[in-house]
Amino acid sequence: MAKKILLIEDYEATVEMLTSILELNGYEVEVAGDGPSGLKKAVSARPALILLDIMLPQMSGIEVCQKLKIDPKTKQIPVIIVSVKAANEDVKKGLACGADEYVIKPFDPYDLIEKVKKHIEAN
């Protein structure tokens, strides 16, 4: 059975690109377009991993990550932040909120898949 990945991203072109990359590598993709729906889907979909943007409507990815990591139902799910925010402070904030990895857009698809595999296989 394909491992499920929750993609919390509001930019449609990025959603399409990431969905294609992940599906080509055998993953099932569930998508949420904002923070609150991402938090709900993290509980209901029980994904093996979450890919999370920082700049989201209604709630930042940093807030989403913090809430995921304090909820007993979701705290074990690995989170990889995928963001255009590339400053050192942004990366530090992303990792400090509990993310397992921080990937800067644009990214190498092979590098992203390696990170995804590493965290899914570790669980």
Percent of the chain with pLDDT over 70: 100
How far apart CA 42 and CA 37 sit, in angstroms, is 8
Instruction: Name the residue ranges covered by the structural domains of the chain.
Output: 4-47+64-107
Where in the chain does DSSP place strands (E)? 4-8, 28-32, 49-52, 79-83, 101-104
Q: Residue 106 in contact with residue 14, Cβ under 8 Å?
A: no
pTM here is 0.97
What type of residue sits at position 17? Answer: M
Q: Tens digit of pLDDT for each residue in 60-85?
A: 999 999 999 999 999 999 999 999 99
Phi first, then psi: give them for residue 50, nearest 5 degrees: -125, 130
pLDDT above 80 (res 57) = yes
Q: What is the CATH architecture assignment of 4-47+64-107?
A: 3-Layer(aba) Sandwich (3.40)
